[in-house]
């Protein structure tokens, strides 16, 4: 008769991990950061606007070249763009 050959293979431990399949690229947290970035950019654009004078023949240097329009608004716009980049590249937290 034929003999049965048994092989001694180690028993593999199978671990079950919860994998959430999500078709969306971004999570709720990503969208929240994107919204914050858009708001910061909008505030920067709002601060940069204006500067119209009542008389078009008069040029008010202090109004056009103010700290708000030349320094603060561009910094806010750049910060908003950095927040948008962060929101796009932010990875979701792993769920176990």
94 in a structural domain = no
List of residues 6+ apart from 31 with CB closer than 8 A: 87
51 in a structural domain = yes
Report H helices in the chain: 28-48, 61-64, 67, 73-89
21 in a structural domain = no
Domain of 33 in residue numbering reads as 28-89
CA distance 6 to 11: 14
14 in a structural domain = no
3 in a structural domain = no
84 in a structural domain = yes
For residue 24, what are its two tokens? Answer: 């969306």
40 in a structural domain = yes
Lowest mean pLDDT among 54-63, 68-77, 80-89: 54-63
CA distance 75 to 79: 6
Read off the pLDDT of residues 5-61 as tens digits, 9 standing for 90 and up.
Answer: 666 666 666 666 555 555 778 899 999 999 999 999 999 999 999 767 778 788 888
Domain count, the chain: 1
For residue 74, what are its two tokens? Answer: 């561009």
């Amino acid at each position: 008769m034929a003999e049965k050959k048994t092989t001694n293979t180690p028993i593999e431990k199978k671990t079950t991990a919860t994998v959430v399949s999500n078709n969306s690229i971004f999570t709720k947290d990503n969208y929240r950061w994107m919204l914050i970035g858009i708001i910061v950019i909008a505030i920067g654009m709002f601060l940069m606007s204006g500067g119209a004078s009542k008389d078009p023949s008069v040029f008010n240097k202090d109004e056009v070249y103010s700290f708000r329009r030349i320094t603060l608004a561009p910094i806010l716009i750049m910060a908003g763009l950095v927040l948008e980049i962060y929101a796009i590249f932010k990875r979701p937290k792993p769920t176990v």
